[in-house]
Amino acid sequence: MNKIPVPAKYLPAVVLAVVLAAVLLGISYIGTSSSTNMLSRGSVSVTTAPISMINKPLEITLPGSVQSRQAVIISAEIPGCISELNAKEGELVKAGQQLVHIDGAGEQVIVDAPAGTSVSPNADAQANYDKLAREYERYQKLYQVGGIARKQFEEMTARLQAARDALQIGSVPGSSSQSQQAGSANLTAPISGKVTGLSATVGQTVQPGQQLMVLDTGGDVRGVVHLEQKDLYLIQAGTPVEIFLENSGQQSIPGQVEAIYPEAGTGTPSFLAHIRIDNANGLLTPGMAVTAHLKTGQSTPVRAVPNSAIIQDQENTYLYLVIDDKIVKQQVTVGAIIGAATEITSALPEQAIVIISGMQNLKEGDVVPLP
């Protein structure tokens, strides 16, 4: 190749031009490299998911206790004669089933009293009537929400009427002596169980408090929880229950509500639910405190995120959210784990998106390029 000679007088200008060109190219390269690195530091690649609404099974969680499953004694409530006996020794009976019908003791002569006055009612009859009147009010509320069968409510109504009749015998105005029928009573099984110790027979004359039979409920223990009036709309006999032992982690024992009873002696309507428990492994002992999860069979919508989005930091729980293409770390409170999702019980910004992977190197304020 023929070289074109450069006159000596132009050499300084050529060298200067080459140097300037090299400097300009270097500056351009550095600027381009610097811009690329900044973009790399300010933009991250992550996987996101929307915050969704899912159906959460509705449970009622209540503190409870373990009690000995004791035999229940069935006793006569009024004096009279047994006219019906609907149970046999060793027979299995269900809660609410009529066991015994007692006809009142017949005519009872009241002590003489001046005309126009009344004899003071018998104290025991008055106390029995007052007690049954309170129980009747609770049974009525329980029946109205489907907590007990119609037959149980009708039997309670009959018992109250019998107590009222017995009370009226002791207080009749207008004559020197009066006689009335002492009423009748139906005795029903308060719980399901096996009839044992049967001592009643048809035609037998009995007195109040006289033991007629015993119901053996079987098993060794049962769970007991207190219910409020509002709980009866969701809980009834047959409702599945999961019993958790205190300080046992996630260990649980299955059970089932076997009966609900009005609770006496409380200022507000309250009820006791007895829970049948499979205690074959002997984990439960009387007096033990437990937590009962009563599964109502209904559900309620809740906000939830994938389990992979949850970040635990010591005692706090966080989510990485994308808001206006920027990452925000937000502390949240969580509820139940429902399959692959976790319920979020705290407030979240509207239209926020949750990050479910790629959080290892995230920091608040990073930019997330979204399509």
What is the average per-residue pLDDT within 127-152?
Answer: 71
Q: How far apart are CA 305 and CA 39, in angstroms?
A: 30
* Cα 315 versus chain centre, distance: 26
| Same structural domain, 194 and 282 | no
What is the average per-residue pLDDT within 246-272?
Answer: 75
Query: pTM for this one?
Result: 0.47
* Cα 140 versus chain centre, distance: 23
**Which domain-ending residue is among 184, 199, 214?**
214
Higher per-residue pLDDT: 313 or 339: 339
Tell me: pLDDT of 245 over 80.
yes
Q: Range with the lowest mean pLDDT among 5-14, 22-31, 94-103, 280-289?
A: 22-31
**Which domain-ending residue is among 155, 187, 214?**
214
Taking CA atoms, 211 is separated from 72, 200, 217, in Å, by 11, 8, 17
**Main-chain dihedrals φ then ψ at residue 346, nearest 5 degrees:** -95, 170
**Main-chain dihedrals φ then ψ at residue 214, nearest 5 degrees:** -130, 140
| 104-139 pLDDT per residue, tens | 875 444 444 444 444 444 677 777 778 878 777 777
| Same structural domain, 177 and 224 | no
Which band of pLDDT confidence, cut at 50, 70 and 90, is reported for residue 164? confident
Q: What is the CATH number of the domain that holds 330?
A: 2.40.420.20
Range of the domain at 167: 76-214
In 43-177, where does DSSP find H-type helix?
Answer: 123-144, 150-169
| Percent of residues, the chain, with pLDDT higher than 70 | 69
Quick check: is 3 in a domain? no
Taking CA atoms, 150 is separated from 64, 97, 154, 159, in Å, by 28, 12, 6, 14
Quick check: is 164 in a domain? yes
Q: With contact defined as beta carbons under 8 Å apart, do 303 and 52 qualify? A: yes
Q: How far apart are CA 261 and CA 75, in angstroms?
A: 18
| Percent of residues, the chain, with pLDDT higher than 90 | 16
Tell me: pLDDT of 50 over 80.
yes
Per-residue confidence (pLDDT) for residue 86, from 0 to 100: 92
Q: With contact defined as beta carbons under 8 Å apart, do 104 and 79 qualify? A: yes
Q: H or E stretch including 34?
A: helix 11-42
Which band of pLDDT confidence, cut at 50, 70 and 90, is reported for residue 152? low
Q: Range with the lowest mean pLDDT among 21-35, 201-215, 259-273, 318-332?
A: 21-35
Residue with tokens 């784990």: 337
Q: What is the DSSP string of 53-88?
A: EEEEEEEEEEEEEEEE---EEEE-SSSEEEEEE---
Tell me: pLDDT of 322 over 50.
yes
Quick check: is 21 in a domain? no
Q: How far apart are CA 141 and CA 123, in angstroms?
A: 28
Q: What is the mean pLDDT of the chain?
A: 75
Per-residue confidence (pLDDT) for residue 343, from 0 to 100: 93
Per-residue confidence (pLDDT) for residue 7, from 0 to 100: 60
Residue with tokens 């035999």: 71
- Sign of the CA dihedral running 85, 88, 89, 94: negative
Taking CA atoms, 198 is separated from 70, 100, 267, 360, in Å, by 17, 11, 37, 73
Q: With contact defined as beta carbons under 8 Å apart, do 137 and 96 qualify? A: no
Q: What is the CATH number of the domain that holds 260?
A: 2.40.30.170
Spatial neighbors of 266 by CB under 8 A, at least 6 apart, are none
DSSP label of 236: -
| Same structural domain, 335 and 294 | no
Quick check: is 371 in a domain? no
Tell me: pLDDT of 327 over 70.
yes
Q: How far apart are CA 267 and CA 134, in angstroms?
A: 11
Tell me: pLDDT of 167 over 50.
yes
Could you tell me which of 243, 244, 245 has the C-alpha nearest to residue 256?
A: 243
| Same structural domain, 185 and 239 | no
Q: With contact defined as beta carbons under 8 Å apart, do 56 and 343 qualify? A: yes
| Same structural domain, 96 and 131 | yes
As given in the structure block, the two tokens for residue 147 are: 């907590």
Quick check: is 84 in a domain? yes
The strand pair at 221-228 and 80-85 is best described as unpaired
What is the average per-residue pLDDT within 76-83?
Answer: 87
- Among 58-62, 228-232, 350-354, top mean pLDDT goes to 58-62
| Same structural domain, 80 and 210 | yes
Spatial neighbors of 351 by CB under 8 A, at least 6 apart, are none
Quick check: is 280 in a domain? yes
Higher per-residue pLDDT: 111 or 269: 269
Per-residue confidence (pLDDT) for residue 111, from 0 to 100: 41
Quick check: is 13 in a domain? no
Q: What is the CATH number of the domain that holds 112?
A: 2.40.50.100
Tell me: pLDDT of 239 over 80.
yes
Tell me: pLDDT of 32 over 60.
no
Quick check: is 7 in a domain? no
As given in the structure block, the two tokens for residue 213 are: 């039979």
**Which domain-ending residue is among 214, 241, 259?**
214
Per-residue confidence (pLDDT) for residue 18, from 0 to 100: 58
| Same structural domain, 137 and 160 | yes
Tell me: pLDDT of 155 over 90.
no
Per-residue confidence (pLDDT) for residue 334, from 0 to 100: 92
> Cβ–Cβ contacts within 10 Å for residue 150, how many?
10
| Same structural domain, 152 and 264 | no
Per-residue confidence (pLDDT) for residue 185, from 0 to 100: 86
| Same structural domain, 198 and 238 | no
- Cβ neighbourhood burial of 295 (10 Å; 0-12, 13-18, 19+): middle
Which band of pLDDT confidence, cut at 50, 70 and 90, is reported for residue 29? very low
| Same structural domain, 308 and 253 | no
| Same structural domain, 198 and 328 | no
Q: How far apart are CA 56 and CA 301, in angstroms?
A: 6
| Same structural domain, 80 and 183 | yes
Domain total for the chain?
A: 3
Per-residue confidence (pLDDT) for residue 215, from 0 to 100: 80
> Which residue type sits at 319?
L
